[in-house]
Structure 1
Amino acid sequence: MPSPVQSAHEIMVPFFDAESAGALVHVNWQQNLSQRKADYYALTADNITTGEQVPFFIAAEYYKSSMKANPNHIANVGELVAGEGYKLKVDDRLQYGQKNAQGELRFVVYHDKERKPYQHRFIETAVGSATAGKAAEMAKAFGVGAAGDQIMGQLKCFVGDYLHTF
């Protein structure tokens, strides 16, 4: 089992490229008795500290090139590494979801922390909305096989649990 990303680790988030930015996922949830939704990019980031990869969700407004004026944009909070992307230290700006207390299937989320979606909203949306070529890659990132019942079995591990802050 890969070691889960931890606070103080450094991760490399790739540059935004509309063609290879990863799957744009639409996350829906209910908060304060109203329906909410937001767009995220589902990426694979490199954990520089461990040499492993980690599923990484970033709010579209923090990633798209056209949004660089946003003070929370990855270009404004990460360290630019030429030819690579943005190096980002894992701290309380980031949140995470995981399968269990041991950190299995941990993924990282960078967004407005006022948003309160359950962890499973990211998993089910990312796996379910991935294009045919990306579906297997996304399912593999979360440790699930190709069968729908396996995906649903994994999702049950996340139901009802909010994201955690590093």
Structure 2
Amino acid sequence: MPGPVESGHELLVDLFDGDALGAPITVKWQQNFVARQSTYYRVDAYNTATDETVPFFIAAEYYKSSTSSNPNHISKVGTLLPGEGYKLKVNDKLQYGQKNAEGENRFIVFHDKERKPYQHRFIETAVLSALAKSGEEAAGKVLTGFGLSGAASAVVDTVKAYVGDYLHTF
């Protein structure tokens, strides 16, 4: 089994395709006693170092074509591979969540690092969004992408290992 994504690896992220991606997910959290929320797209990024895909959350304003003037847009920090997507080097611009210190079920987040949601918010939101949109089978596939198993309707139980942990920076 390949190891988790590490600093220095390169990820390939597909070009933005709003039709294929559908609506972004909304991640909600509390920060400094204020309710916050932001929209993200959840995609599968290809890790060239491990020959595996990894769940990748990217802030909508860093991904949508209409926001390409943003200085942190993927087109400004990644290398465009025409017809394929963007090659993005894993560095301190990215954060990650994981199940344990060994890096199991690691997923990547590319957003404004001033945002401080707990890592379980991404998993919960992605699975519940898939469950609402496409049903148990699609939500189960999202769970599998995180290396988790079981009924998607029991998502709260599957993310207990993530509760209370902030994202980590590479």
TM-score band w.r.t. shorter chain: over 0.9
| Residue in 2 that maps onto 1:109 | 109
Aligned counterparts of 1:22 and 1:87: Cα–Cα separation in 2: 22
Unmatched runs of 5 consecutive residues or more in structure 1: none
Give TM-score scaled by structure 2 length.
0.92
Separation in structure 2 between the aligned mates of residue 65 and residue 106 of structure 1, nearest angstrom:
27
Higher mean alpha-carbon deviation, 143-152 vs 62-71, is at: 143-152
My pick for the range that moved more, 73-82 or 141-150, is: 141-150
2:160: which partner in 1?
A: 156
The alignment partner of 1:160 has SS state of: coil
Tell me, in whole angstroms, the C-alpha distance in 1 between the residues paired with 2:23 and 2:167.
20
Quote how far apart the aligned CAs of 1:143 are. Answer: 2.0
Distance in 2 (alpha carbons) for counterparts of 1:140 and 1:24: 20
Q: Which moved more, 1:141-150 or 1:7-16?
A: 141-150
- SS of 1:20's equivalent? helix
The corresponding residue for 2:123 is: 123
- 1:145 is matched with which residue? 149
> Is 47-56 or 142-151 further displaced after alignment?
142-151
Q: Normalization by structure 1: what TM-score?
A: 0.94
2:97 alignment counterpart: 97
Which consecutive unaligned segments of at least 5 residues does structure 2 have?
Answer: none
2:31 pairs with 1:27: no
Q: For residues 45 and 4 of structure 2, what CA distance do their matches in structure 1 show?
A: 13
* Residue identity (%): 60
The whole-number CA distance in structure 2 between the counterparts of 1:151 and 1:99 is 14
Instruction: Identify the structure with the greater helix proportion.
Output: 2
Q: Structure 2 CA distance, aligned partners of 1:19 and 1:139?
A: 22
Alpha-carbon distance in 2 for matches of 1:23, 1:147: 23
* Corresponding residue number in structure 2 for 1:4: 4
Three-state SS of the structure 2 residue aligned to 1:136 is helix
**Aligned Cα root-mean-square deviation (Å):** 1.5
